[in-house]
Chains A and B, each alone.
Chain A
Amino acid sequence: MINAMEIIEINDDVQRNDADPTWHTISTSWLAKSSRVSFGTCKSYAVRSDVSSVCRLASGAVFENYRSNLVARWSNMSVTGVDQEEALGLLDISNTIELLYKWEREKKGRLASAYAVYFVESNFSKRNLSAVNALLLSASVERLTEWSMVAILRSSYSSRSVLPAWSIFLDAVKHRLKDNERAERLLMGLNR
């Protein structure tokens, strides 16, 4: 086992030394961020992929090691029953939403929350506000828990004035949480 800082160094070396654009490392997307988020240790691998934009990779063996650690640390849940698509990097809208639904269904809300923030912030960095708006527009609050709902709302809060779907999503969340005694605290500050 190596620590998160070593992961970055190793993967940076791999990237610098390999001119083949079909080489990707998990670190450039989800794994590095996740392993740092968890502040723990996990395994790191360079993985060959034929997909150019995201790390749509992960042989079963590689991912098995990665996600077991990640999921265990993030949600303190059983690591069984998790599929390899969770090793993907920045997904498109529909895959992101399905992944959030899946994690929420499996009571891995903390993991879903982290990915939701990762999705929003990554798309902000790419100035892809339409992706964030689409997430707000398409995600069904009926299939999410407080973990994802709060993460989506708060991570996109600063851009709410240019995200038409933000207030719609907020209203839907308010309705969903109308009987939740923590609703006021969960949404504190978001009405400004």
Chain B
Amino acid sequence: MKLELARYDAALPDDVYLALAITGGIEDGDQRHTGFLVRSFDDENFLFHLGFNNGYLKNPLTSRYDYLLVPALEPETANSIITFLVMLLEDTGGNVQYSIAWEAEEYFDKDGKLTKFAAVDGFTCATFVLETMKRYGLDLVDRETWPLTEETATWQANILEKLQLPVEQYLAQFEVLGKYPRIKPEEALGAAHYYRGDLLPYPIVLPAGVEVVSEMRRLKAP
């Protein structure tokens, strides 16, 4: 199946209640943002996403977003994840930390705690999507294959300055600049598209992310 995005106002198929949404610039190096598109039973589309530190939000989907249908999200799987997203919002009140750290270990641990929250812990918008899907058995990417690059360290330093984190979180994350790989929002969507049950390595996901941005570009063209 070809990777194809749809504009925010394109109707979801009848039996689809969950997809991945993306927004942002369409040039190389632009910042982008992702989250879950959830369709309500009133046929309203909402975005469940990590917008900022302690900013796990449910917002109406706006015209800035495109979305991707995910082959692995059968309705039964989607319904389970939607329930989880809603419960997480209720349980946390939206207080989900943002962090540049992308840990190998599971974010939702085996003791039943939903999240682990040391000062260095948390998610980017992309790792929030990935870890939520992983929590429900859809482990998309092989994190160990992601490179540590200078570009990533620069991005981490820049985003850290913009996050307005509490001092403890800021210092904890400042110490790990450049020590964690970064998965980009478009790569999360690309991985979701090509996922067939096995972990996807970086060399597969990188071009998939490029495809996603190319699709964003296509949809923005006049």
Q: Which residues of A contact B (CB under 8 A)?
A: 32-33, 36-40, 73-74, 76, 109-110, 113-114, 116-118, 121, 123-129, 146-147, 149-151, 153-155, 157-159, 161-162, 182, 184-186, 188-192
Contact = CB atoms under 8 A, between A and B. Distances in A.
Given A33-B87, A38-B40, A40-B42, A147 B76 contact: yes
Given A40-B40, A157-B137, A185 B110 contact: no
B217 to A, nearest CB: 30
A149 B87 CA distance: 19
B77 interface: yes
Given A113-B80, A151-B83, A158-B109, 6 more contacts: A33-B90, A125-B91, A128-B112, A158-B106, A188-B77, A188-B196
Given A38-B40, A113-B79, A33 B86 contact: yes
Of B87, B108, B195, most buried by chain A (CB within 10 Å of CB) is B87
B138 interface: yes
Contacts of A40: 40-42
Contacts of B55: none
Contacts of B81: 154
Contacts of A184: 197
The interface residues of chain B, by DSSP majority, are classed as: loop
B89 interface: yes
B74 interface: yes
Contacts of A114: 79, 83
Contacts of B82: 37
B42 to A, nearest CB: 6
18 contacts: A33-B87, A36-B89, A39-B40, A40-B40, A110-B79, A117-B87, A125-B91, A127-B112, A128-B112, A149-B76, A151-B83, A153-B137, A154-B137, A157-B136, A158-B135, A186-B74, A186-B77, A189-B195
Which residue among B76, B86, B87, B196 has the maximum number of chain A CB atoms within 10 Å of its CB? B76
Interface residues of B, number: 39
B47 to A, nearest CB: 12
B101 interface: no
B117 interface: no
Contacts of B77: 150, 154, 186, 188
B138 to A, nearest CB: 5
Contact of B83 (A109, A118, A190): A118
Contacts of B138: 188-189
B139 interface: yes
B135 A157 contact: yes
A151 B76 contact: yes
Contacts of A117: 80, 83-84, 87
Nearest to A185: B74
A114 B75 CA distance: 12
Contacts of B89: 36
B114 interface: yes
B197 A189 contact: yes
Interface in B133-184: 134-139
Contact of B84 (A73, A121, A123, A127): A121
B71 interface: yes
B112 A113 contact: no
A39 B139 contact: no
B72 interface: yes
Pairs of residues from A and B, 7 with the lowest C-beta to C-beta distance, nearest first = A124-B112, A39-B40, A150-B76, A117-B83, A157-B137, A154-B136, A189-B137
B188 to A, nearest CB: 15
Interface string B22-57: 000000000000000010111010100000000000
Contacts of A129: 111-112
A36 B86 contact: yes
